[in-house]
Amino acid sequence: MSILIDQNQQVRNDFRLFAGRANPALAKEIAAILGVELGKITIGPFPNSETRVQIEESIRGTDIYIVQPTSEPANENLMELLITIDAMKRASARQITAIIPYFGYARQDHKTTGREPISAKLVANLLTTAGASRVMAIDLHVPQIQGFFDIPMDHLTALTTLANYFRDKQIENGVIVAPDVGRAKLAEKYAKILRLPLAIMHKRRNGADGQDVEFVELVGDVKGKTPIIIDDEIATGGSIYEQAQALAAAGAKPAYVSIAHAVLVGPALERLMHPSIREVVTTDTIPVPAEKRLDGKIEVLSIAPLLAQAILRVHQHRSVSQVFRDQHLDFAV
């Protein structure tokens, strides 16, 4: 369904939407909703494996929006985005908005031990130096990353997209479960939308890499109920795997999982097959090919309508946060 960039020819002429190679399907869907064609660009490797970018049309004086999550392979996708932004700046684009549905390096937002980088801040600096005028991302690992940017940063949330899915399912005797205290605020919003009770788990990470997870306390009643576990992403699936089993041991039914980003690396798919997990619901901020969807156990929702609406509001100099206020949500979660 096309919305809005179809009436004003001047708006159409001043607007360009481009796709990187990390998630072209999402960019195509956004373009279809907005009623525009994707910009013409060639991206590929030089013979020595360096990234080549060639913009195949004039973008002088236009507002550019480039869709490129920095998911796996993170370094390759990030470098491609930086080079593309640089090419657009040198082609005299008026404004360049980097739409990064999944913001890689977001977990590295602080030092956990001495002599470590703060890579999320470095990435913010790189995007600004390359020439980005604005950045748009969905469900950052921690919202404080917005403060790393010295340019406008729109932090969107997939909360309503995901919550509406569960509302339509009309799960009986459900309970929203936060995997830790840090996700309690987000889980509380789910509970409010779905009118369900809330439970909170406290977890402790062990080991030098923090991958070993131990759940030490559950606050809330889950016995005989269907849990909906809330989190921002699944990487190796260790937390979700341990949590679902802990909930089952407490008498809960097999759990649903609601996440914005399906990173799905290492043993994640094997862990998600465990019978204590009923279904994983995510979005297409990162491509999830059919072979990774576990015969329908992983449900992927489109985030394109949200991004299209945000892009349009930015281009028309209208409030982006109003989208969430209309849904009675805080802009940053």
Residue 264 is assigned to a structural domain of this protein: yes
Residues 113-168 have pLDDT tens digits of: 899 999 999 999 999 999 999 999 999 999 999 999 999 999 999 999 999 999 99
Distance in angstroms between the alpha carbons of the first and the last residue of the chain: 28
Based on the domain organization, do 14 and 94 belong to the same domain? yes
Task: Say whether both 181 and 297 belong to one domain.
Answer: yes
- Assigned domain for 37 exists: yes
Instruction: Report the distance separating Cα 275 and Cα 272, nearest Å.
Output: 8
22 pLDDT exceeds 90?
Answer: yes
In a domain, 332, yes or no: no
pLDDT band at 324 (very low <50, low <70, confident <90, very high): confident
pLDDT digits (tens, 9 = 90+) for 53-79: 999 999 999 999 999 999 999 999 999
Clarify whether residues 140 and 276 are in a common domain.
Answer: no
Same domain, yes or no, for 204 and 275? yes
> Residues 163, 153: one domain?
no
Across-strand partners of 156?
A: 138
Domain with residue 79: its CATH number is 3.40.50.2020
131, 252: one domain: no
For residue 317, tell me if it sits in a domain: yes
The reply to whether 310 and 292 lie within a common domain is: no
Domain-embedded: residue 312: yes
Percent of the chain whose pLDDT exceeds 70: 89
Regarding whether 272 and 227 lie in a shared domain, the answer is: yes
Catalytic residue set: 203
- Residue 326: per-residue pLDDT: 61
Tell me the residue range of the domain where 187 lies. Answer: 159-301
Residue 137 placed within a domain: yes
pLDDT band at 217 (very low <50, low <70, confident <90, very high): confident
Asked if residue 2 belongs to a domain, the reply is no
CA-nearest of 307, 309, 270, 263 to 286 is 263
- Looking at the fold, whether 80 and 124 belong to one and the same domain comes out as yes
Q: Which of 122, 117, 138 is nearest to 69 (CA)?
A: 138
Does the residue 266 lie in any domain? yes
| 156-197 per-position pLDDT tens digit | 999 999 999 999 999 999 999 999 988 999 999 999 999 999
Query: How many residues would you count in the chain?
Result: 333
Q: Please tell me whether residues 275 and 178 are part of one structural domain.
A: yes
CA gap 159, 178 in Å, rounded: 14
Q: Closest Cα to residue 240, out of 190, 217, 274?
A: 274
Average pLDDT, the chain: 92
Predicted local distance difference test score (pLDDT) of residue 332: 47
| Structural domain count of the chain | 2
Does an H or E element contain 19, and which?
strand 15-19
Amino acid 202: pLDDT: 84
* Chain centre to alpha carbon of residue 64: 20
CA-to-CA separations, 85 to 54, 64, 88, 147, 308, in angstroms, rounded: 11, 9, 5, 21, 20
Which carries the bigger pLDDT value, residue 2 or residue 37?
37
Same domain, 138 and 36: yes
